[in-house]
Chains A and B, each alone.
Chain A
């Protein structure tokens, strides 16, 4: 008895049933489409500024950049995140800068305030300035994963290597976990 390929037979039924069952299972696994797109973000409260963000991201240079929350910044002349602890003078001399790639820029605003901005093309996400700012200052400089650079890997290599488990997936609508003024841990 020849079985014509075009006929729908018992095996086809089993195949179709398997697909439906698998599809339903996968739909369940997807949580029925809840939460929406998830993105990787650093929690600045947990970050310990170890420097691995710069070296473990699969991209080179890293998708992690320093962001500056100017609402929290004190605009100090002697910035703990800009100047080396051993800096001889409080100016923009390269020998005084803490940043290894000179990505943090200093600009005089008015007496006695200075504005500090991050040049993202240079920043590698090493967290040196973040640590200086956190230790001596208000902690306005902090690292965050840039959504236009990040590939949104299935398993973030930085998340896997973070010693303080500070990198986690959050829904896109809550994304950009940045420090802001007057709000708990914010999100923009």
Chain B
């Protein structure tokens, strides 16, 4: 004898179907939560700082047939040297290749001496090429920490920046080590180079004074040949007047009027600072160098500008690694707006 149930049987069907439909709907509409703004690191609002002070524009771009460009230097005749993987290129003022020399190993930096010889900074030692590109001399190798990242030739000596040992080496033209500059020395009030990444640069100003960047301290230092500190200044900051991040500037070059061109990594930008350390003008911002946040180059490489140089005509040259090109900038002639 079956009594009529309190709840009709079809009600359970409806319940079951409703539960399954709800479950399937919940399955299909589920999504894990996305990280909110407190988890996002965003420097894109700093990328535009300095846009109003842009005084230079890119007038030429020399494409390079070179894998892994590492160093750039200007030559006395208005041309330039570019070193890269197993190669040294000599270009003329228009960017056309005039010579290509094979090098054993990849030089990190290059410089032309007053006698036309070319000094290449290989990772641990300096290799000297004659004007024809043949190896003229190989100077003694440094210790296992040695890592040469920049080289500059003065009238009577050659300076090589050893980022690994945090010191600038002063060599005679014959390869004899004349002295070390910049090692931390409390007595002479030399603070010492703080070099977290291989970007220690040396450059000569128009009066052949030796300058080096101190990336960890965010500034520049000037040294006399005897190693004493002549002057220094530091400015850290994300704004256009300062050096951003933890180790900048990572490349420097001097113009004929004594102003210094600096390149930074992280927030990739090139700017010119007057001798009184004020901002003289902005050369390029991240968006001009393919390093704005979200662009492919930025994600891969936080220091696309490998080296800077100022050529005999006063043009600013920047070596762009990922683009494999030399970017040429010239000052805008009062055209502004």
Contacts and interface: CB of A to CB of B under 8 A. Distances in A.
A112 B216 contact: yes
Interface residues of B, number: 29
A78 B35 contact: no
A156 interface: no
In terms of DSSP, what is the predominant structure of the interface of chain A? Answer: loop
Interface stretch (B66-74, B95-103, B243-251): B243-251
Contact of A50 (B35, B266, B267): B35
B146 interface: no
In terms of DSSP, what is the predominant structure of the interface of chain B? Answer: loop
A55 B35 contact: yes
B194 A51 contact: no
Contacts of A100: 38-39
Interface stretch (A12-20, A25-33, A129-137): A129-137
Contact of A128 (B32, B39, B245, B267): B39
B273 interface: no
B216 A85 contact: no
Contacts of B188: none
Nearest to B32: A56
B218 interface: yes
B40 interface: yes
Given A51-B35, A78-B245, A132-B41, A138 B216 contact: no
Contacts of A76: 194, 196, 216, 246-247
A128 B266 contact: no
Contacts of B191: 112
Interface in A116-154: 126-129, 131-132, 134-138
A55 B32 contact: yes
B59 interface: no
Interface in B75-132: none
A86 interface: yes
Contacts of B265: 136
A34 B247 CA distance: 47
Interface residues of A, number: 34
B246 A80 contact: yes
B36 to A, nearest CB: 8
A85 B236 CA distance: 11
Contact of B194 (A49, A112, A132): A112
20 contacts: A48-B299, A55-B35, A55-B39, A56-B32, A73-B196, A74-B194, A74-B197, A76-B246, A77-B194, A77-B216, A77-B246, A80-B266, A98-B41, A112-B191, A112-B217, A136-B246, A136-B247, A137-B196, A137-B246, A157-B32
Given A50-B35, A54-B35, A127-B41, 20 more contacts: A51-B35, A51-B39, A52-B32, A52-B34, A52-B35, A55-B33, A55-B35, A55-B39, A77-B246, A79-B246, A85-B238, A85-B244, A86-B238, A112-B216, A128-B41, A129-B41, A132-B41, A134-B302, A136-B247, A136-B302
